Amino acid sequence: MPETTFNPHEFKAQFPIFDQAENEKLIYVDNAATTQKPQAVIDRLTHFYLYENANAHRASHRLARAATDAIENSRKIIAGFINANDRDIVFCRGTTEGFNLLANGLASQCHAQEEIIITSAEHHANILPWRRLAEQRNMKIRLVPDIDGIPDLSQLASMLSDNTRIVSFTMASNVLGCKLNLESVAQLLKDHPCFYVIDAAQGLGHCPIDVDKLGCDFLVASAHKAYGPLGAGFVYGKQKVLSTLDPYLLGGEMVKSVTLDAAEFNKAPGRFEAGTMQLASIAGFGAAIEFLSQQDREGMHAHEVRLIQHIHKELSSLPAIQLISKPENNLGICTFNIKSDVIEATSGDLAQWLDEHDIAVRVGYHCAQPLYESRALQQGLRISVAGYNTFEDCDKVVRVIREWIDNIEESKTTTTPCSNSILESLQNAKNWQARYKMLMEFGQEERDESIQADDNIIHGCEAKTWLAGSQVDGKYQFITDSESRIIRGLGVLMKHWFNGKDADFIQNFDWETECQKLGLTRHLSASRNNGFRAMILTAQCSVVPTSSDSE
């Protein structure tokens, strides 16, 4: 790959979030979920509210004119960015709403026994709206075969028929990172009377998009994954085609005339922009696209490619890591699992460890559960890069992962402390990393798979976790198990508190104060989805005071 003049440090300097004191050491590699925002976008949002705040396309006063100009200017900027006409751009809240708009709008043009072709690598936003449409119109959804999760588009030709009505593919998987050769799809579909839809959510901020070359009927994307504001996105489609779709939302501005008996809707794009839109975010979206256009995009892409290849290479040398993604043709994503036969821990355990080292990643199914299930994979951990990430960032991520693995290996030889020393061990720990290591050591205790029944599952846990309790002479005993080792460690702590106690003690136990004393509070909030809160509340709700307790 040729050398470029792109400088990630200069690029990063344009993002004020990294200048905040609390973010001095932050390594943000959750960019496939959302990117950070440059000063230019933040300034544009502020400018709108300071100087242009009014309802666009409505009143004739100067603020309304300014707001209208701001929205229509963003429409032109985005259209130019993807080589489209500005009348072909419909604003919406994001990719998810865009797909719902299309599925709703196309419903009247779909019929029983017709087919919708997607891949197993799609985001839920490109699955669920089509599934509902299929259910409503008695249609069939078909999946393109894959090779190791990557859609094999060479099989598409044999799948096409007179019944094919919609073909909807992602530009790049938000789990695998693989960029699909969608230009070839247009050639296959040119003789088929079907609608071709592209999910460009992961592509907009990483690679050039030309809708003419792609040959698609519709393309959907969000602002927030391309350095733009939250709450804005667009649907591209030829105005003539868009105007044949049924409107998604009904209300003000999208209609020409209204009586109590009839209504005449506007042509696109207005027919899909009902009510007061997210005007400041749309103005900020245009600023984000202008910002991107001013960058060395080829150099930025080359930099991101080098980063993701480097991460794959480094992680591939770790026996405990099972790579799900591949570095080839990848738009900045590395996703992996923890090999349970090598170390007894989960991706969620690692994500928490990374967070405590100021490294932001994403763990879960990444709104792509069919992909994980098709490959029989547990929830994965995803590292996703952007132009402001550096090789130093990537090396630290790998180093912290290595340290975590080493800690797990060391804990294999550590014996769980006796009940009396559990609290003392946590209280004496110097920092969260030490407490984390202890909790992982506590999670070494022998698992009890006998309680892994549906009735014992604790709802609200990221990892599957089970709890069962029994009561003898008014005293309770709990058994816990979890796929997550750190949750099992926390279960040991809960059992230290509750086992052998009566219902009154358990229900009135102030566990949050006790966690604060142990230095665990900021790490065990509900927003972290680590399951401890759900475990405690489930145990407290399961006990029943005896008559003597209540007297």
Q: Is residue 380 within 8 Å of residue 361, measured between CB atoms? A: no
Would 236 be classed as within a structural domain? Answer: no
Q: Count the Cβ atoms, other than its own, within 10 Å of residue 314.
A: 18
Asked if 254 and 354 sit in the same domain, the reply is no
Q: What is the CATH number of the domain that holds 151?
A: 3.40.640.10
Asked if 61 and 154 sit in the same domain, the reply is no
Q: Which helix (H) or strand (E) holds 540?
A: helix 532-542
Would 3 be classed as within a structural domain? Answer: no
Q: Which two tokens stand for residue 435?
A: 């407490």
Would 232 be classed as within a structural domain? Answer: no
Domain count, the chain: 4
Q: Is residue 302 within 8 Å of residue 6, measured between CB atoms? A: yes
Asked if 370 and 389 sit in the same domain, the reply is yes
Looking at residue 527, its pLDDT comes to: 40
CA distance 440 to 438: 5
Asked if 520 and 537 sit in the same domain, the reply is yes
Asked if 122 and 78 sit in the same domain, the reply is no
> What string of DSSP letters covers 77-138?
HHHHHTT--GGGEEEESSHHHHHHHHHHHHGGG--TT-EEEEETT--GGGTHHHHHHHHHHT
230-240 in b/e form (b: 16+ CB < 10 A) is ebbbbbbbbbe
Look at residue 505 and give its three-state secondary structure: helix
Asked if 64 and 143 sit in the same domain, the reply is no
Q: Where are the alpha helices (DSSP H) in 345-484?
A: 347-355, 369-374, 391-411, 419-428, 432-442
Looking at residue 408, its pLDDT comes to: 82
Q: What is the CATH number of the domain that holds 358?
A: 3.90.1150.10
Asked if 105 and 209 sit in the same domain, the reply is yes
Whether pTM exceeds 0.85: yes
- Residues taking part in catalysis: 367
CA distance 132 to 114: 14
Cis status, amide bond into 129, omega within 30 of 0: no
Domain boundary among 356, 390, 411: 411
CA distance 272 to 264: 13
Asked if 23 and 65 sit in the same domain, the reply is no
Looking at residue 442, its pLDDT comes to: 84
Would 162 be classed as within a structural domain? Answer: yes
CA distance 420 to 213: 69
| Residue partners of 479: CB distance under 8 A and separation at least 6 | 448, 451, 467, 468, 469
CA distance 119 to 116: 10
Q: Is residue 120 within 8 Å of residue 149, measured between CB atoms? A: yes
Domain boundary among 351, 378, 411: 411
Would 168 be classed as within a structural domain? Answer: yes
Asked if 394 and 311 sit in the same domain, the reply is yes
Cβ-based burial of 219 (10 A; exposed 0-12, middle 13-18, buried ≥19):
buried
Q: Count the Cβ atoms, other than its own, within 10 Å of residue 179.
A: 18
Asked if 444 and 488 sit in the same domain, the reply is yes
Looking at residue 415, its pLDDT comes to: 57
Q: Is residue 131 within 8 Å of residue 156, measured between CB atoms? A: no
Nearest to residue 383, comparing CAs of 352, 360, 410? Answer: 360
CA distance 402 to 396: 10
Q: Is residue 205 within 8 Å of residue 182, measured between CB atoms? A: no
Phi, psi (deg, nearest 5) at residue 252: -65, 150
pLDDT by residue for the chain (551 residues), tens digit each? 455 679 999 999 999 999 999 999 999 999 999 999 999 999 999 999 999 999 998 778 999 999 999 999 999 999 999 999 999 999 999 999 999 999 999 999 999 999 999 999 999 999 999 999 999 999 999 999 999 899 999 999 999 999 999 999 999 999 999 999 999 999 999 888 899 999 999 999 999 999 999 999 999 999 999 999 999 999 999 988 998 999 998 988 888 888 899 988 888 898 999 988 999 999 999 999 999 999 999 999 999 999 999 999 999 999 999 999 999 999 999 999 999 889 888 898 899 899 989 999 999 899 999 999 998 888 899 999 999 999 999 999 999 999 999 988 776 665 556 656 788 888 888 777 788 788 888 887 767 888 999 999 998 777 789 999 999 999 999 999 988 888 888 899 999 999 999 999 999 999 888 888 888 876 654 444 567 888 999 999 999 876 544 44
Range of the domain at 321: 8-30+296-411
Q: Count the Cβ atoms, other than its own, within 10 Å of residue 306.
A: 15
Asked if 128 and 116 sit in the same domain, the reply is yes
Would 371 be classed as within a structural domain? Answer: yes
| Residue partners of 233: CB distance under 8 A and separation at least 6 | 91, 92, 93, 94, 95, 97, 98, 220, 221, 222, 223, 285
> What string of DSSP letters covers 154-218?
GGHHHH--TTEEEEEEESB-TTT-BBP-HHHHHHHHTTS--EEEEE-TTTTTTS---HHHHT-SE
Q: What is the CATH number of the domain that holds 540?
A: 3.90.1010.10
Domain boundary among 258, 279, 295: 295
Nearest to residue 233, comparing CAs of 144, 325, 102? Answer: 102
Looking at residue 179, its pLDDT comes to: 96
Would 540 be classed as within a structural domain? Answer: yes
Q: Where are the alpha helices (DSSP H) in 270-346?
A: 279-293, 297-316
Q: Is residue 296 within 8 Å of residue 321, measured between CB atoms? A: no
Q: Is residue 184 within 8 Å of residue 152, measured between CB atoms? A: no
Asked if 20 and 46 sit in the same domain, the reply is no
CA angle 167, 169, 175 (to 5 degrees): 155
Would 231 be classed as within a structural domain? Answer: no
Counted residue by residue, the chain has a size of 551
